[in-house]
Amino acid sequence: MKLPNLTLLQAYLKTATSAATSGGKILKKYWKNVKQIEDKSTAGDLVTEADKESEKIILQMITEAYPDHAILAEESSEKHLSSSSDFLWVIDPLDGTVNYAHQNPMVAISIALLYQNKVVVGVVFNPFYQELFQAIKGMGATLNGEKITVSQTRALDKSLLATGFAYDRRTTTDTNYPEFCHLTNLTHGVRRFGAASLDLAFVAAGRFDGYWERGLKPWDMAAGALLVQEAGGKISAYNETPFDLQSGKILATNGMLHHALSQELLNLSM
74 labeled part of a ligand binding site: yes
Q: What is the rounded distance in angstroms from the CA atom of residue 8 to the CA atom of residue 11?
A: 5
Cβ-contact 54, 111 below 8 angstroms: no
**43 φ/ψ angles, rounded to the nearest 5 degrees:** -60, 135
92 labeled part of a ligand binding site: yes
**Residue 258 DSSP symbol:** H
**150 φ/ψ angles, rounded to the nearest 5 degrees:** -70, 170
Residue by residue, DSSP assigns 164-224 as ---GGGGT-S--SHHHHHHHHHHSSEEE--S-HHHHHHHHHTTS-SEEEE-S--HHHHHHH
**DSSP H or E stretch at residue 264:** helix 258-269
Cβ-contact 112, 89 below 8 angstroms: yes
95 labeled part of a ligand binding site: yes
68 labeled part of a ligand binding site: no
Cβ-contact 142, 133 below 8 angstroms: yes
For 229, the 3-state DSSP assignment is helix
- Inter-CA distances, 98 with 1, 42, 107, 160, Å: 38, 13, 9, 23
157 labeled part of a ligand binding site: no
Cβ-contact 215, 248 below 8 angstroms: yes
- Binding-site residue positions for Mg(2+): 74, 92, 94-95, 220
- Binding-site residue positions: 74, 92, 94-95, 220
